[in-house]
Amino acid sequence: MMLIPCPHCGPRNETEFAYGGQAHVSHPEDPHALDDAAWARYLFYRENPKGLFAERWVHSAGCRRWFNAVRNTVTYEVQSVEPIGPRPPGGRPAESTTSEGGHA
């Protein structure tokens, strides 16, 4: 059972959350411009790292908000959480909070 730090509600049990897979996968701007291989990459290929992984979670039994988390897929430790949204080129969104971030 993981303790996941919801950016809005603070640390809550994993059972309150649902998983959304890899974060920052944007819909292609012009799908018709893609060939089959590129479309397959968008549709079926996801990162599967052993280590840190940027992924989406939704606090479905809490505030019902989606957010992004960076989690270690070996230790299951959540390193940081950040608001939902596309990752700007070259790095993290400026606004990000650590797992220590605000719980009542």
Residues within the interface to other proteins (CB under 8 A):
1-2, 8-10, 12-16, 18-19, 21, 36-37, 39-40, 43-46, 48-50, 53, 55, 61-65, 71, 73-76, 102-104
CB atoms within 10 A of CB 43: 11
Measured from the CB of residue 94, what is the shortest distance to other proteins in angstroms?
A: 18
Measured from the CB of residue 50, what is the shortest distance to other proteins in angstroms?
A: 5
Measured from the CB of residue 65, what is the shortest distance to other proteins in angstroms?
A: 6
Closer CB to other proteins, 19 or 86, in the complex: 19
Under the phi-then-psi rule, with left for phi > 0, alpha for psi from -120 to 50, and beta for the rest, what region is 31? Answer: alpha
Closer CB to other proteins, 87 or 101, in the complex: 101
- Burial of 104: CB neighbours in 10 Å, binned 0-12, 13-18, 19+: exposed
